[in-house]
Structure 1
Amino acid sequence: MKQLKTGSFYGQTNQTTHLPGITITDTEYTLDKVDWHYHENAYFTFILAGNVLEGNKKEVYNCSAGSLLFHNWQDPHYNIKPKGFTRGFHIELQKHWFDSLELKQDKLQGSFSIANPDVKFLLYRIFKESKITDELTGLAVESLLLQTLHKMQFDNGRLLRAVPAWVDRLKQLLHDEPAKGYTLHNISQILQIHPVHLSRDFSKHFNCNLGEYIRKLRVEKSFSLLTDDNLSLTDIAFSCGFADQSHFVRCFKQFGGSNPSAYRRFLLRGC
């Protein structure tokens, strides 16, 4: 089985950013199928555009734009790409980077998908920093990565505690259709729990209120559409469930840290 060294990924490399212990690679997937292989470093894969299927020994992930995976080092997997343009970026973390910061890499075992919108917003900010490339890029990327790993470990800690069945059902419902016009009443009916119970306990499991979480998911969905330059910002706003473009822009600035036009320029660079 082939081992890929630091900065090596199958496909066309658009850009590689080397930082101490961290390598960021912007890649276009060009091969229909990539056989079993593994990488020498732990790394994130974030799909910016298109689709790819990735399988490991335990699971198969159907990844579309906005999908985020984490792989521990030397975890074997394969890829199958449907027809069409697919682009992703990868953040490799070398073992000495973990060791220098006294981080526990062994807490991040195997390969897994990350659905938390807050983690994805951090990854989009890292992608943006990789395109700026000034003397502060390394500082910014490392700070954002530490926030990312802390958030992931915090989420894993919460998973170890008992979580009511309605939490997973609600998460699936909102992630599948973030643009739908929800009300507290109809969500409560779907979950078959009292609205007071839902309102009271939601923040315990999602770390924000219900309306804020849905806005986050709508902004997250918009990132996956910004790579399509045939769509206007108004088109994207309506597709994601926003009342109008101005509402979309306000929410995007709140969670995305910039305006959508600026982010679109970063996302389309290198395509």
Structure 2
Amino acid sequence: MKHLQRGTFYGQTNETILLDGITLTDTVYTHSKVDWHYHENAYFTFILEGNVIEGNKKEVYNCNPGSLLFHNWQEPHYNIKPDGFTRGFHLEIEKHWFDTIALSDDNLQGSINIAKPEIKFLMYKVFRAAKIEGSAVDFSTQTLLIEILSKLSAHRDSLLYKNPKWVQIIDEILHDQIGDTISLDYLSKIAGIHPVHLSRDFSKYFHCTLSEYMRKLKVEKALSLLSLQKQSLTEIAYECGFSDQSHFTRCFKEVNGLNPSAHLKLLLMK
């Protein structure tokens, strides 16, 4: 089985930034299929553009723009790239980095498909910092990575302790119906809990209010649509459920730190 060293990924590398224990790689995928292989270090794959299918011993992930995967070191997997342009941003972590900051990776074993929007927004920040700061990005990356891993570890812990069933039901509905008009009464009926109970306990499991979480999911979808470069900002705004482009721009900047046009400009930087 092929063993890939630090900073090595299948495809054409646009940029590699080597930091202390961390490597950032911007790669265009050029292989239609990559057989089973593993990397010497743990790493995140963040799909910026296009699509890729990634499989491991337990699961197969159909990744589109905005998909975020974590692989622990030496975790075997394979890739299939459908026709079209696909680009990924990788954040690779050497083993000694975890020891340096006294952070354990014990509950981050195997491969993880990360759906939490707040973790994805942090990865967008890492990508933006890399494009803006270049090789001076070390401090930004270190602090953002610690926050990413802390949130990911907390999420894995919550799964171990079995959240109530309604939490997963609500999360699936909100992800599946982004852009639709969804009421508290509608959610409570499907989840089988009282509206007051849902409203009161939502932040306990999602760490924000229901309306804030819905805005995050809308912005996350908008980020994915922006990468396709096929729709106007107005069209994206309406597809994601915003009342108008002005509302879309305001929420997008509030959640993601940049307005849509500025984000698209950074995305086009190679």
Matched-pair contact (CA < 8 Å) for 1:29–1:85: yes
Q: Contact 1:5 / 1:40 at 8 angstroms: preserved in 2?
A: yes
Give the drift of 1:98.
1.1
Could you say which residue in structure 2 is the equivalent of 1:174?
Answer: 174
**Which residue does 1:47 correspond to in 2?**
47
Which residue in the other structure is 2:97 paired with? 97
Structure 1 residues 136 and 27: alpha-carbon distance in aligned structure 2, compared to 1, 3 A threshold: closer
Q: Unaligned 5+ residue runs, structure 2?
A: none
1:252 aligns with 252
Q: Which amino acid aligns with 2:53?
A: L
Alignment check: 8 A CA contact 2:50 2:228 kept:
no
Displacement of 1:135 in angstroms is 6.7
Distance in 1 between residues matched to 2:48 and 2:232, nearest whole Å = 18
Cα distance in 2, alignment partners of residues 167 and 82 from structure 1: 34
Deviation at 1:134, TM superposition (A): 5.0
Measured in 1, the distance between the counterparts of 2:19 and 2:266 equals: 19
Structure 1 contact 226–267 (Cα < 8 Å) conserved: no
User: CA separation in 2, counterparts of 1:6 and 1:203?
Assistant: 39
User: Are the equivalent residues in 2 in contact too, given 1:51–1:64 (CA < 8 A)?
Assistant: yes
State the match for 1:63 in structure 2: 63
Q: Percent identity?
A: 59
Query: 2:83 corresponds to which residue?
Result: 83
Q: How does 1:1-271 map to 2 (within 5 A)?
A: 1-133=1-133, 136-270=136-270
Work out the CA distance in 2 between the residues paired with 1:193 and 1:62.
Answer: 32
Note if contact 1:48-1:89 (Cα within 8 Å) is conserved in structure 2: yes
Count of matched residue pairs? 270
Q: Which ranges of structure 1 fall in alignment gaps of 5 or more residues? A: none
* TM score, norm. by length of structure 1: 0.96
Deviations 1:172-216 (CA, angstroms, capped at 9, x unpaired)? 111122111111111122222211111111111111111110000
Q: Residues 68 and 114 of structure 1 are in contact (CA less than 8 Å); yes or no, is this contact kept in structure 2?
A: yes
| TM-score where L is the length of structure 2 | 0.97
Aligned partners of 1:43 and 1:91 also within 8 Å: yes
**How far has the Cα of 1:255 moved from its partner?**
1.1
RMSD: 1.2
Separation in structure 2 between the aligned mates of residue 57 and residue 162 of structure 1, nearest angstrom: 24
Question: SS at 2:31's partner residue?
Answer: coil
Give, in whole Å, the separation in 2 of the partners of 1:49 and 1:8: 19
Runs of 4+ deviating beyond 4 Å: none
Q: How big is the shift at 1:157?
A: 2.1
Give me the whole-angstrom Cα distance separating, in 2, the residues matched to 1:172 and 1:268. 31
Task: Tell me by how many angstroms 1:161 deviates.
Answer: 2.0
State the distance in 2 between where 1:149 and 1:162 align: 20
CA drift of 1:160 comes to 2.3
